[in-house]
Structure 1
Amino acid sequence: MTAAKISIKENRRNALLFSLGVITIVGLQTNIALLFARYLDKHPEVIEMLQQVGLGIFICITIYFLFIAKEKKPATQPIAYKSKRHRFFQGLLLASLNLFPLPYWVYLSITFSSFGWFEFSKPFIAFCVTGSIVGTLTMLIAYAHYFNYAKKKQQEIKLNINYMIGGITALISVITLIKILNDM
């Protein structure tokens, strides 16, 4: 939503610079997570514990997005940025604060690897990092481009996004629970 706000209040170029900062960090986080997951894949005793911890985390996230997440009040005073490069660095900073991609990619890649759907080879890792970057950039550009429409239906869209995130994490939780029960 920050990319959309920048697009409306300033211009699309600054929103794109912000988005480039975000995808730089997202790509780095995805790569680090997959390399860590490759290490964990060679140590199955650690994976079992992490899957159980991951299940707990994803259940908590599911509960949060389906039942607790509410609309936040807008900030009283918007910050005015004059530097175009500042938007790129703002994107780097905000994406760095969001650590969700690290456990997400570790957990997802290990789970998919256990089903035989993923390999920890360089092509698979490069494909995932590229997909993460392209997907994130596509969504940020879509937010920036369609924000006027979304602003009219802001409450409905926020509610739907929370349900979508909650549904995705619920699905991941169910898959993991099935995997843990099958391993017992």
Structure 2
Amino acid sequence: MTTISALFFGFISAVIGIFPPGLINMTAAKVKIKEGKRAAVWFVIGAVLIIIIQVYLAILFAQFIGEHPQVVVLLREIGCGIFTLLTVYFLAIAKTPQKIKGKIKKQRTSTRFFLGMLLSALNFFPIPYYVLVSLSLASFGFFVFEPLSIFIFVLGAVLGSFLVFYTYISFFTKIENKTDFFMKNMNKIIGSITGIIAVVTLFNIINYYWN
């Protein structure tokens, strides 16, 4: 049962984390429009390979945190500060994201493969995201830090990531107009999320020291 839940939650967490319009999925869609589906698929494969490493490292880090509870408090304090700064940045400083304009020069598929790897490697969001997800699932008994469960969870995350990317490169022309709302309000959405996380984290810190 734990194995099945690891696959399911790995898949679902990837879909939730990647589905909102972002640099990687939007670039994949643009590559498909300008260069064709083959180039876009190679771009996605490159991105997914990096995601495999990121998810695995995130789970190992989460396992370390689980075995050293004293580290959690320090990470909460650091995280609270970081999320507070991010909230201020996205709500008060950051400019509204603009659509990608201009043509993408046709490149070899190998070039797109490495571009996918590069953009994915520059995206640090998956590591803290999957640390939080795996710790939360473990606390509810839906995930255990064992080799097989870790492998299955990573597999689920890979499948979910590829599905979302493939959806973007296959149906982008149909959902392009709907992404306008997310693009225009992306800073407010991200700022609100980081703000909520900062408040919850601060509450947990206060509760820890109070008790």
| TM-score interval, smaller chain | 0.7 to 0.9
Moved more, 137-146 or 149-158: 149-158
Q: Which amino acid aligns with 1:138?
A: L
> Counterpart of 1:182?
207
Gaps spanning 5+ residues in structure 2: where?
Answer: 1-25
SS in 2 for 1:146: helix
> Counterpart of 1:158?
183
Report the Cα offset of residue 164 of structure 1: 4.8
Structure 1-normalised TM-score? 0.79
Q: Do 1:71 and 1:155's aligned partners in 2 also have CA atoms closer than 8 Å?
A: no
Q: Distance in 2 between matches of 1:80 and 1:161?
A: 27
Q: Do 2:96 and 2:186's aligned partners in 1 also have CA atoms closer than 8 Å?
A: no
Report the Cα offset of residue 146 of structure 1: 2.5
- Give the root-mean-square deviation of aligned CA atoms: 2.9
Would the alpha carbon gap of residues 145 and 61 (structure 1) be closer, same or farther in structure 2, given more than 3 Å must change?
farther
Report the Cα offset of residue 46 of structure 1: 1.8
Matched residues, number: 183
> Counterpart of 1:34?
59
1:101 equivalent to 2:126? Answer: yes
Report the Cα offset of residue 31 of structure 1: 0.2
Gaps spanning 5+ residues in structure 1: where?
Answer: none
1:8 equivalent to 2:33? Answer: yes
The Cα offsets for residues 65-122 of structure 1, whole Å up to 9 and x where unpaired, read as 455351236455x442331122111111111111222233234434555666653233
Q: Do 1:111 and 1:176's aligned partners in 2 also have CA atoms closer than 8 Å?
A: no
> Counterpart of 1:44?
69
> Counterpart of 2:160?
135
Moved more, 41-50 or 115-124: 115-124
Q: Distance in 1 between matches of 2:206 and 2:137?
A: 16
